[in-house]
């Protein structure tokens, strides 16, 4: 089956599902033009409940100047997600699961995650997150790989300063990684971040980033 036929089938299936969820703005539709000849669209639907459920697909295609589809440029990713968010005066917690399947390449992943943020003191907030992901490849029939990660972040809300530390481990190659980072809010939409991966080891690497966020 060609990429074009697969994309058309996914468009048809999701269009019929989205018609049911169109009420109350439950339809997910986010098209984007990535370049002059490449396009991507995220489409699907969401169902509000104690566990908010959403499902859909990411479709992408790129073509040559003559209109022919570029080899291996297509994307037809089916995904589903469930999330439960709990909010209290002292903080917020979120639990969720996400599954994704690449219909063109036969690979997929299942990710379970949990995060929590709370007020630690009058001048400090704390955030924690944990996740575990199982990845598989049905075509290559490779053994499923499991990746687990967790992170802690300490935030001083009055100055916008944050300090975070994270670890991750994967059974695919037995890799264990650590990251330490510091962030500083310069302006409401301007942030400076510096991080070091695998400190005190031979593979130590650092980076500094200046990020600006624009909303419209």
* Cα–Cα distance, 53 to 80 (Å, whole number): 8
Segment 106-154, tens digit of pLDDT: 889 999 999 999 999 889 999 999 999 998 887 666 667 899 999 999 9
Range of the structural domain that residue 171 is part of: 88-215
Percent of the chain topping pLDDT 70: 82
Give 22's pLDDT tier (boundaries 50, 70, 90): very low
Q: Are residues 133 and 194 in the same domain?
A: yes
Same domain membership, residue 40 and residue 116: no
Which of the two residues, 59 and 175, has the higher pLDDT score?
A: 59
Same domain, 47 and 119: no
- What counts of helices (H) and strands (E) characterise the chain? 1, 12
72 pLDDT higher than 90: no
Residue 100 DSSP SS3: strand
82 in a domain, yes or no?
no
* Same domain assignment for residues 32 and 92: no
Whether 41 and 147 share a structural domain = no
Neighbouring C-beta atoms of residue 99, cutoff 10 Å: 15
pLDDT, position 1: 46
Domain match, 66 and 99 both: no
Same domain for 193 and 152? yes
Please, which pLDDT band fits residue 12 given cuts at 50, 70 and 90?
low
> Is 156 inside a domain boundary?
yes
Q: Does residue 16 lie within any of the structural domains?
A: no
Same domain, 66 and 101: no
Please indicate, yes or no, if residue 137 is contained in any of the structural domains.
yes
87 against 64, higher pLDDT: 87
Q: Are 81 and 98 in contact (CB under 8 A)?
A: yes
Three-state DSSP at 91 gives: strand
Contact between 38 and 61 (Cβ < 8 Å):
yes
- Asked whether residue 113 falls in the same domain as residue 138, the answer is yes
pLDDT for 176 equals 84
pTM (predicted TM-score): 0.71
Last residue of a domain, one of 73, 107, 139: 73
Q: Is the pLDDT reported for residue 102 higher than 80?
A: yes
Q: Is the pLDDT of residue 66 over 80?
A: no
What is 114-157 written as a DSSP string? EEEEEE-SSS-EEEEEEEEEEEEETTTTEEEEEEEEEEEEEEET
Same domain, 195 and 119: yes
Question: Which helix H or strand E contains 71, and what residues bound it?
Answer: none
User: Rounded mean pLDDT of 4-25?
Assistant: 52
Higher pLDDT: 185 or 66? It is: 185
Run of H or E residues at 9: helix 3-20
Query: pLDDT value at position 97?
Result: 96
64 and 53 Cβ atoms separated by less than 8 Å: no
- Tell me 73's DSSP state: -
Average per-residue pLDDT for the chain: 83
- Average pLDDT estimate for 64-76: 76
At residue 33, the 3 state secondary structure works out as strand
For residues 176 and 201, what is the distance between their CA atoms, to the nearest angstrom?
A: 12
Q: DSSP character for 68?
A: P
Q: CA-to-CA distance for 147 and 132, rounded, in angstroms?
A: 6
Mean pLDDT calculated for residue range 156-171? 91
- pLDDT surpasses 50 at 33: yes
Per the structure block, which two tokens stand in for 65? 């100047």
Per-residue pLDDT at 10: 52
Q: How many domains does the chain have?
A: 2
């Amino acid at each position: 089956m060609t990429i074009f036929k697969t994309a058309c089938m996914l468009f048809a299936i999701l269009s019929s599902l989205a018609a049911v969820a169109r009420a109350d703005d439950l339809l997910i539709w986010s098209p984007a033009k990535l370049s002059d000849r490449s396009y991507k669209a995220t489409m699907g639907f969401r169902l509000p409940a104690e566990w908010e459920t959403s499902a859909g697909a990411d479709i992408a295609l790129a073509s040559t100047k003559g209109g022919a589809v570029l080899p291996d440029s297509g994307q037809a990713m089916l995904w589903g997600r469930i999330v439960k968010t709990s909010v209290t005066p002292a903080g917020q917690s979120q639990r969720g699961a996400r599954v994704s399947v690449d219909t063109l390449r036969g690979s997929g992943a299942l990710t379970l995650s949990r995060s929590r943020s709370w007020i630690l003191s009058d001048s400090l907030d704390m955030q924690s997150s944990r996740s575990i992901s199982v990845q598989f490849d049905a075509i290559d029939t490779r053994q499923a790989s499991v990746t687990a990660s967790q992170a802690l972040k300490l935030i001083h809300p009055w100055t916008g300063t944050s300090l975070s530390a994270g670890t991750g481990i994967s059974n695919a190659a037995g890799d264990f990684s650590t990251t330490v980072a510091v962030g500083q809010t310069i302006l409401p939409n301007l942030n400076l971040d510096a991080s070091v991966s695998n400190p005190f080891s031979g593979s130590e690497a650092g980076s500094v980033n200046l990020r600006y966020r624009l909303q419209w």
